Amino acid sequence: MHILIVDDELLARRRLRTLLAECDPRHTVSEAAHAAEALALLGRPPPVDVLLLDIHLPGQDGLALAHQLQRQAEPPAIIFVTAHTEHALSAFELDAVDYLAKPVRLVRLQQALAKARRGPGTAGARAAAPAPGDGASLLVHDQGRTERVPLADVLYLRAEQKYLTLRTTLRSYILDGALTELEAQHGDAFVRIHRNTLVARHALRALERHPEIEDGEGWAVRLHGSTELLPVSRRQVAAVRELLMRQ
């Protein structure tokens, strides 16, 4: 594949080049430091298959560039690569193949490129991506072992210091990544109940008031397969209650 890295930071471009070589040394890799340079490269042969696009760029930002490219007849597949995870929702509204949080990990980059290969351009890659309940899973690394945990087994994800805790009925795992990134990828499978917690929709059992819980004015959820009470923030109480009523 011909991959174009668009990032104004030289070190970030070099890191991505190194990771791409580890993914597949046959990749053709080009670089651009801003949107104007990227557009110039995109206008020349050979055609670019995948864009690794930073969002915060000098001049035209990455979201605006992606929007402009989507008007083309055959746009390249777009993978956003950024330290600013608050833009995840906007990125996926632009039909991005994936959204990678810096520092980018090799496994996540491999997954994103695999999505891009599944179909021509962004739309094809998105359509082929697994949906929750269709075999989707999360990759975890545990004591030198790597395994896939099906989304159907996950009870909740919680951000704790520098890591995420993934909890199933049987055990807990430590997971790399950002909670916002996972929410953007698997929003159909989870509901946010707190700034640091995503709960599997299928696992929600009850919303209860517990005065001893200070966070969120004492609201908490119970989950099927767990006796643990998870605090619900005040702003999420109504959304959780509505979701339980629909189930």
Q: What is the CATH number of the domain that holds 228?
A: 2.40.50.1020
Inside any domain, residue 143: no
Of 20-34, 84-98, 160-174, the one with minimum mean pLDDT is 84-98
Question: What average pLDDT does range 128-147 have in this prediction?
Answer: 59
Q: Does one domain contain both 8 and 62?
A: yes
Q: Does one domain contain both 8 and 118?
A: yes
Inside any domain, residue 113: yes
Inside any domain, residue 162: yes
Q: Does one domain contain both 120 and 217?
A: no
pLDDT of residue 166: 92
Kindly provide the residue ranges of all beta strands, DSSP E only, lying in the chain, ordered along the sequence.
2-6, 28-32, 50-53, 77-82, 98-101, 137-142, 145-150, 154-160, 163-168, 172-175, 190-194, 197-200, 204-209, 219-223, 230-231
Q: Mark out the alpha helices in the chain (DSSP H runs).
A: 10-23, 35-42, 62-69, 88-93, 106-117, 121-128, 179-185, 237-246
Residue that has been written with the tokens 């997954």 in this structure: 111
pLDDT of residue 13: 95
Q: Does one domain contain both 120 and 51?
A: yes
Question: What average pLDDT does range 185-204 have in this prediction?
Answer: 90
Total count of domains within the chain: 2
Which residues are CB-neighbours of 42 under 8 A, at least 6 positions away? 4, 48, 69, 76
Tell me: the pLDDT tens digits for 109-120? 998 898 888 644
Residue 6: half-sphere exposure toward Cβ, Cα within 13 Å: 31
Nearest Cα residue to 50 out of 127, 109, 131: 109
Which of 38-42, 182-186, 243-247 is most confident?
Answer: 38-42
Domain, as residue range, for 81: 2-128
Res 191 pLDDT > 80 = yes
Q: Please, what sign has the CA dihedral across residues 49, 54, 55, 56? A: negative
Tell me: the pLDDT tens digits for 216-244? 578 999 998 888 899 999 889 998 988 88
Q: Report pTM.
A: 0.52
Inside any domain, residue 135: no
Res 42 pLDDT > 90 = yes
pLDDT of residue 31: 97
Res 121 pLDDT > 60 = no
